Amino acid sequence: MELAVLVAASAVVAATRSRTAKVAELARLLTLAAAAGEREVLLTTAFLSGRVPHGRLGVGYRTLAALPPPAGSSTLTLADVDAAFTALATAGGAGSAGARRATLDALFSAATADERDFLAGLVTGEVRQGALDGIMQLAVAQAAGVPLESVRRAAMLAGALDAVAAVALTDGVEGLQRIVLEVLRPIAPMLAASSPNVADATTLQGPWSVERKLDGIRIQAHKRGHEVRVFTRSLDDITDRLPEVVEVVAALPAETLVLDGEAIALRPDGRPEPFQVTGARTASTRDPEQLRAQTPLTTYVFDVLHHDGRSLLDEPLIARREILERLLQPENRVASVVTDDPGAAQRFFEDQIAAGHEGVVIKNLGAPYAAGRRGGSWVKVKPRHTLDLVVLAVERGSGRRRGTLSNIHLGARDGDGFVMLGKTFKGMTDEMLSWQTTRFTELMSDDNGWVVTVRPEQVVEIAFDGLQRSSRYPGGLALRFARVLRYRDDKTAEEADTIETVRTLAGPVSDEPDADA
């Protein structure tokens, strides 16, 4: 299938707010892709969901700032993009940077202006057309003529919708029913909704399991006999990096297991290290035993999805907890309290914050494990941090945001100047995008074609989940999960928060290099 056909469909989907129209257009395209084969369906599903199924491509905003001119006419196919992305993802060793650059230039020079915008958005995670998995699942069900629930369940058990779409359009319901939980194949993890406080999270009748929320790495551990595999939240296999997790799981008294939990680095006093310490450890591919000696990880398990040949996905949490209590030693269980008293839940939350943890997750004891879904059965409660920062620059949007100024660079006051702490496009409404495009055009002081530098005058209120040490930014700190709350026209840049305030919020941080170093 031609890339131009997919890009045109993406534009149609982005241009309408109608859910029905989005689904119809996506279903039409999936039907076209099915005529070309299963791989075309997989790629179409992934690309239109904003995903690259090839893994990390090693391409960022800075790389895309220097591209050759676009093509005047469309010649690219999905197969061409597939081959280029495969080459980018597998490039390694001496000369890999040059090979990656050549591959990228060849791909983008063959793309028209519209195709370049789509591809740029795809590789940077900025395809924004309102076609996330919920819409795409509806489209797959419509194109294949199968029940939506069959698609949803198969997608959670397979770990991603992309391959499931190909099965649905090829083999229908019968093919989807053959997709079951398999030990050693990861599934999409259950996700938690958010609540601003414990009171709002406990409005439904208890009792609840109120559990410590750890700021570690989400892991899914599988055991079959003597074989253990450990996967991340994004379903990457990191078994070889976590020998201490493998040892804990291997020692458990079961033939087959699938567990959900966290791995986290702790200080000698038992308090958690900053997330970045855990993240750097689990991201590193250096000698795992040497890393283990330097930064040991503690394994915590909070759920069990399969036990000795039996899937537990449809069992209530209270039954799954009973199995965990029989399987695990206390030091590997996540701290929790079962209560129907909102006051007791609030006190437990306060204890976790005092101990240095993120907060709590409040869980419905009667709920099954809704893999890959975010609903009201799990609700996380964390303190929300906010800062008033100054916009230093803004990046031109791509895909659905083409023609706008989108990703903002954030700075804190530092003496007579400003120091950058990160950037974000999260939390922006269409109205906010329109407003800031006008505003930052007025404040523009430089433009390199991708990044627009602006006069440091506009204050923005930013919510974030934490801070980590960073060698990327001069201030040595970076915001985690920053998102825009509102623009502060009532404040001048001189009233923005200082880097000293940010450092106070950060408290003691690790000297470990960040993952970007």
Which residues are tagged catalytic? 213
Question: DSSP state, 2?
Answer: B
Cβ proximity of 279 and 480 under 8 Å: no
Cα separation, 410 vs 391, in Å, equals 5
* Residue 468 main-chain phi, psi, to 5 deg: -140, 150
CA 34, CA 43: separation in Å to the nearest integer? 11
Rounded distance, CA 25 to CA 210, Å?
A: 43
Residue 507, phi-psi category: left (phi > 0), alpha (psi -120 to 50), beta (remainder): left
| DSSP character at residue 63 | H
C-alpha separations of 403 from 71, 248, 438, 450, 466 in Å: 20, 52, 11, 12, 32
Give the Cα separation of 212 and 361 in Å (integer). 6
Q: Are strands 359-364 and 374-381 parallel, antiparallel or unpaired?
A: antiparallel
Per the listing, tokens 């369940």 go with 153
- The CA-atom distances, in angstroms, between 120 and each of 49, 129, 401, 402, 445 are 14, 14, 12, 11, 25
Distance CA 366, CA 7 (A): 44
Q: What is the DSSP string of 366-419?
A: T----TT-EEEEEEEE-PPEEEEEEEEEEEEP-GGGTTSEEEEEEEEEETTEEE
Strand order through the sheet with 256-265: 227-232, 217-224, 256-265, 297-307, 310-311
Question: Backbone phi, then psi, for 315, in 5-degree steps?
Answer: -80, 150
What SS3 state is found at 235?
Answer: coil
Look-up of token digits 């840049």? 493
User: How many whole angstroms separate alpha carbon 502 and alpha carbon 421?
Assistant: 9
Region of residue 449 (phi > 0: left; psi between -120 and 50: alpha; otherwise: beta): left
Segments in 35-146 forming alpha helices (H): 38-48, 61-64, 78-90, 96-109, 113-124, 133-144
Nearest to 187 by CA among 210, 163, 215: 163
Distance in angstroms (rounded) separating the CA atoms of residues 210 and 202: 10
Peptide bond into 207 cis (omega under 30): yes
